[in-house]
């Protein structure tokens, strides 16, 4: 199965789309790259840095004659964008997305997909806290997972073609049922982001009392929270509103675990704490063994300036 597409349209030109563009060129997976972003400033910057071969003035213009169209926009606007571009999609084209919520995206987009166009939702489980057309880089997907969640009845050849494309970008590819995807991501991404936002908010309240010591003396744990909490606010607002049930279920379980740890600390139950931390430490080791992180010290951060 070929991984190449002659004409690819990227709707949205931030970190994910930019990284797709760089990786596709690295792997010679595309003939012509077309891009569109709602912001005129973003379109101008993308043209200035040569992120894509053509910058379109509208989303409808961008998708004309495209063999692959990827929606790289916040989850909350996927349906509206699909409605705008639907009439202009080429028969036989593949329409995909990169949203980190899948069932609501399918519900919003599918009604606007014309006959003859293959809708294959996807989610590259990769990213950084940075955004904008200059934030992308070719190696973002190397060794990371991209999950495909094709609706029942999707053309298998289209699924295989998109899977080959993502593998060409460097990703490991697996298929997953949409609702299960949303539950898994609520555990691995959505709830941790919400907890990080909350912890940084608590620290901000405390900082007003401690005259910025919280910021000056940030240790690794809080520093990682602030990195996560620096992620795009529009994207994460839409994620929580569109994966409400799964996120609330996981937060409920988190609350139960937190109460158990509070009780252990209050009662001086060191055995329970040690056993709990030993079990959770094994999860970290599993992530490293799966190649999704490294145990190198200070990973992802340079040493602070002297």
Walk along the chain (306 residues) and give the pLDDT tens digit of each residue: 789 999 999 999 999 999 999 999 999 999 999 999 999 999 999 999 999 999 999 999 999 999 999 999 999 999 999 999 999 999 999 999 999 999 999 999 999 999 999 999 999 999 887 889 999 999 999 999 999 999 999 999 999 999 999 999 999 999 999 999 999 999 988 888 898 888 888 887 776 666 667 777 766 777 788 878 888 888 889 999 999 999 999 999 999 999 999 999 999 999 999 999 998 888 888 877 777 776 665 544 444 433
Q: What is the DSSP letter of 190?
A: I
| Cα 198 versus chain centre, distance | 20
Question: Where, residue-wise, is CATH 1.10.3660.10 in the chain?
Answer: 180-289
pLDDT for 210: 66
Strands 30-36 and 5-11: parallel
pLDDT for 302: 47
pLDDT for 284: 80
What superfamily in CATH does domain 180-289 come from?
Answer: 6-phosphogluconate dehydrogenase C-terminal like domain (1.10.3660.10)
pLDDT for 245: 92
The answer to whether 121 touches 102, Cβ cutoff 8 Å, is yes
Question: Where, residue-wise, is CATH 3.40.50.720 in the chain?
Answer: 5-176
| Cα 181 versus chain centre, distance | 13
pTM for the model: 0.83
Q: Any idea of the CA torsion for 190, 193, 198, 201, to the nearest 10 degrees?
A: -140
CATH match of 5-176 with 3.40.50.720: yes
Q: Which helix (H) or strand (E) element contains residue 250?
A: helix 244-267
């Amino acid at each position: 199965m070929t991984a190449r597409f002659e004409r690819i349209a990227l709707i949205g030109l931030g970190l994910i789309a930019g990284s797709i563009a760089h990786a596709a060129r690295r792997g010679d997976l595309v003939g012509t790259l077309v891009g569109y972003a709602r912001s005129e400033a973003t379109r101008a910057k993308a043209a200035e840095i040569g992120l894509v071969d053509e910058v379109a003035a509208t989303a409808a213009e961008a998708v004309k004659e495209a063999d692959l169209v990827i929606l790289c926009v916040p989850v909350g606007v996927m349906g509206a964008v699909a409605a705008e571009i639907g009439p202009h999609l080429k028969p036989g084209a593949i329409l995909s997305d990169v949203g980190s919520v899948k069932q609501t995206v399918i519900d919003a987009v599918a009604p606007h997909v014309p006959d003859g166009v293959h809708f294959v939702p996807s989610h590259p489980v990769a990213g950084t806290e940075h955004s904008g057309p200059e934030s992308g880089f070719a190696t973002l997907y190397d060794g990371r997972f991209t999950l495909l969640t094709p609706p029942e009845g999707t053309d298998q050849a289209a699924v295989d073609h998109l899977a080959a494309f993502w593998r060409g970008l460097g990703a490991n590819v697996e298929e997953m049922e949409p609702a299960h995807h949303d539950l898994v991501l609520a555990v691995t991404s959505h709830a941790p982001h919400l907890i990080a936002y909350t912890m940084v908010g608590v620290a901000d309240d405390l900082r007003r009392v401690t005259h910025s010591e919280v910021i000056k003396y940030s240790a690794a744990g809080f520093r990682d929270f602030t990195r996560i909490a620096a992620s795009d606010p529009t994207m994460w607002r839409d994620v929580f509103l569109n994966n409400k049930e799964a996120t609330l279920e996981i937060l409920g379980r988190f609350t139960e675990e937190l109460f158990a740890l509070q009780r252990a600390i209050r009662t001086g139950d060191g055995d329970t704490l040690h056993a709990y931390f030993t079990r959770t430490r094994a999860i970290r080791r599993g992530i490293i063994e799966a190649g999704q992180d490294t145990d190198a010290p200070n990973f992802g951060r340079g040493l602070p300036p002297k």
